[in-house]
Amino acid sequence: MNYRDIITIEADKRGGKPCIRGLRITVYDVLDYLASGMTPQEIIDEFDYLTLDDIHACLSYAADRERKQLVVNA
């Protein structure tokens, strides 16, 4: 699974923040839910249009972004 197939960035949607499959839920929303203690299954139960692949894509996107930040700041 390549997160680039799932995470989209559109200037007119959520202020250009990275979203899941063009929906209005952002990567940051999902990461915030996970950080607050929700399990992936709880997120999927709450937002029935999300999949486990969507959540994994958010985590992959965040890891890739962090990796790129480390390279820039090295």
CATH of the domain at 28: 1.10.10.10
The region of weakest confidence among 30-34, 41-45, 62-66 is 62-66
Name beta bridge partners: 9.
18
**pLDDT confidence of 63, banded at 50, 70, 90?**
very high
Q: What angle do CA 21, 60, 27 make, to 5 degrees?
A: 45
The residue segments making up the domain with residue 61 are 3-73
State residue 68's pLDDT score. 85
Measured between alpha carbons, how far is 27 from 55 in angstroms, rounded to an integer? 8
**pLDDT at residue 72, as a whole number:** 65
Give the residue from 50, 12, 4, 11 showing the smallest Cα distance to 29.
Answer: 50
